[in-house]
Amino acid sequence: MSPLTETHGDEEVVLVDSLSPRERQLLEMATAGLTDQAIANELGISLATVSTYWGRIRIKYGPLGRTEIVARFLRALMSRATAELTASEERMRTVLEALPLGVFLTDGAGKPIYVNSAYAKIAGRTNEELLEEGLASLVFPDDQRQAQEERERCLAEGKGYTAEHRWTRGDGTVVWVRLRSDAWLVNGMIAGRVGVVEDVTQEHEARQRQAEAEERYRLLFALAPEAIVSVDEGLKVVGFNASAERMFGYRLDEILGQTLATLIPERFREGHRAHIERFGQGTVAAARPMASRSEVRGLRSDGTDFPCEASIVRQILDGKPHYTAIIRDVSDRVRSTPPQSSLDAIPLIAWRVDERGETVDGNAALREFVGQTLGDPVDPLDRPAFEEALHRAAGNGGKADVRLRLRRSLGASSRWHLCRIEGDVVVATDVHELETAAEELRKVRALLGSN
């Protein structure tokens, strides 16, 4: 007998592999119950040719009857299918064991069939303990009812779900897990559940800390005695607490989405925007303390303005700057404090200007010259010359000289002054008599020249 006729198990598969395509086709048709005549008719060959093929098959299988050869062929096919299934299961198990997520499989009654090592690690138990005790025992007592309802609905209706529960690990510690589960089917019928689990304890604790911090901020924002105003990168109001509503006279729904300029007197808006733009440069959070500018004023909804102090904090959110200002109304303090300027030590007329050349502060000599209400002391006729001098100073180390007429109070005529610009401070020396004499001299010379 040929060695091929004595094979068993895996060797049966070798016999199948030794068959030609036509021989294999003939055996498959015989396995399906077809007679030799039916096979001949199906293949379009003669009965004699079918007999020839059987002869070739018996050379490989031995002198066996037709029924026994077909039986051995079926055993070989089943052996191969089993081996392939086993190999497939082994590959799948290897993949599942390498996953960082916990994986589980249950039957239709909810009894665990399989859990991977990651699942056991999250649970703090062995695979054997989990398969024996079941998975429902892991769920924290307060979460068991919800977890049970979700499991039963999945097995009854075949609906997948995602949920977060607490688990009690083998060592007694409690962890948060996120579970994604769905039904698995056999021949269209629900056979059990399959799912993955991940430990989200750190994520949950971080969310809890964030929620607590946001609640603390909300309370501080709402109860702070100072006005708090938050704006986005476009300087549009996105936050406005109760103190800000009282200070500025706007309701929250009225001011949200409005620009910050709504709360600033018009004469300060352009300069304020320039300050914010400079302050907004950078990629990290920063802060500017109260009273760091020479003057800050707010504008109420009724059009009145008031002195205030403001601390501004810049934050980078989603790569864009956001600003929060903490504002204090200092009207009472200003009213109770005698007017005094940092320029009062200068005996001559002196005042400070902003980026546009507008007056923001002046000393006692200026107030005496123009009156107690500070304004632009420069005569409108000389305003272009003053602005040109400011421009010249900007390119000359902040210094420039210019002759200007300054306006006096109570309708008095303007007087000529020699003005020295240094930075944002202008100091004026009265040269009116000299300028008048020089003008008279020019007139006399012109008269003599005409004669």
Q: Which amino acid is at 411?
A: G
Residues 366/351, Cβ–Cβ less than 8 Å? yes
Q: What is the domain range of residue 353? A: 349-438
The angle formed by the CA atoms of residues 420, 426 and 430, to the nearest 5 degrees, is 65
Give the pLDDT score at 77. 84
- Give how far Cα 34 sits from Cα of 21, 23, 27, 29, Å: 18, 14, 10, 6
Residue 265 lies in a domain: yes
Residue 75 lies in a domain: yes
For 431, phi then psi, to 5°, come to: -125, 30
Q: Are residues 229 and 326 in the same domain?
A: yes
Alpha-carbon Rg of the chain, whole angstroms? 47
Q: What is the pLDDT along the chain (451 residues), one digit of tens a residue?
A: 333 333 445 566 777 888 999 999 999 998 888 999 999 999 999 999 999 999 999 988 888 888 888 888 888 888 787 777 777 778 888 878 888 899 999 998 889 999 999 999 999 999 999 999 889 989 999 999 999 999 889 989 988 999 999 999 999 999 999 999 999 888 889 999 999 999 999 999 999 998 888 888 888 888 888 899 999 989 999 999 999 999 999 999 999 999 999 999 988 888 777 777 776 665 444 445 444 444 578 999 999 999 888 888 888 877 888 888 889 898 887 666 555 557 888 889 999 988 788 888 888 888 888 875 667 889 989 999 999 999 888 878 788 899 999 987 666 788 899 999 998 899 999 888 888 887 888 877 777 765 5
Q: Are residues 332 and 391 in the same domain?
A: no
- Give how far Cα 209 sits from Cα of 187, 200, 216, Å: 48, 14, 11
Of 42, 69, 88, the one marking the end of a domain is 88
- Give how far Cα 57 sits from Cα of 12, 40, 47, 51, 60, Å: 13, 16, 15, 10, 5
Of 42, 65, 88, the one marking the end of a domain is 88
CA distance linking residue 227 with residue 205, whole number of Å: 32
pTM of the model: 0.46
DSSP-assigned letters across all residues of 174-236? EEEEEEEEEEEEETTEEEEEEEEEEE-HHHHHHHHHHHHHHHHHHHHHHH-SSEEEEE-TT-B
Residue 210 lies in a domain: no
Of 204, 238, 270, the one marking the end of a domain is 204
Residue 173 lies in a domain: yes
65: domain CATH number is 1.10.10.10
Give the pLDDT score at 146. 92
Q: Are residues 356 and 330 in the same domain?
A: no
* The total number of residues written for the chain in this structure: 451
Domain count, the chain: 4
Give the pLDDT score at 335. 66
Q: What order of strands is seen across the sheet that includes strand 349-353?
A: 359-362, 349-353, 425-430, 415-422, 399-406
164: domain CATH number is 3.30.450.20
Residue 39 lies in a domain: yes
Give the pLDDT score at 270. 82
Residue 446 lies in a domain: no
Residue 11 lies in a domain: yes
Residues 339/366, Cβ–Cβ less than 8 Å? no
Beta bridge partners of 259: 236
Residue 276 CB contacts under 8 Å (≥ 6 apart), including other chains: 235, 260, 312, 323
For 236, phi then psi, to 5°, come to: -100, 140
Pairing between strand 320-329 and 399-406?
Answer: unpaired
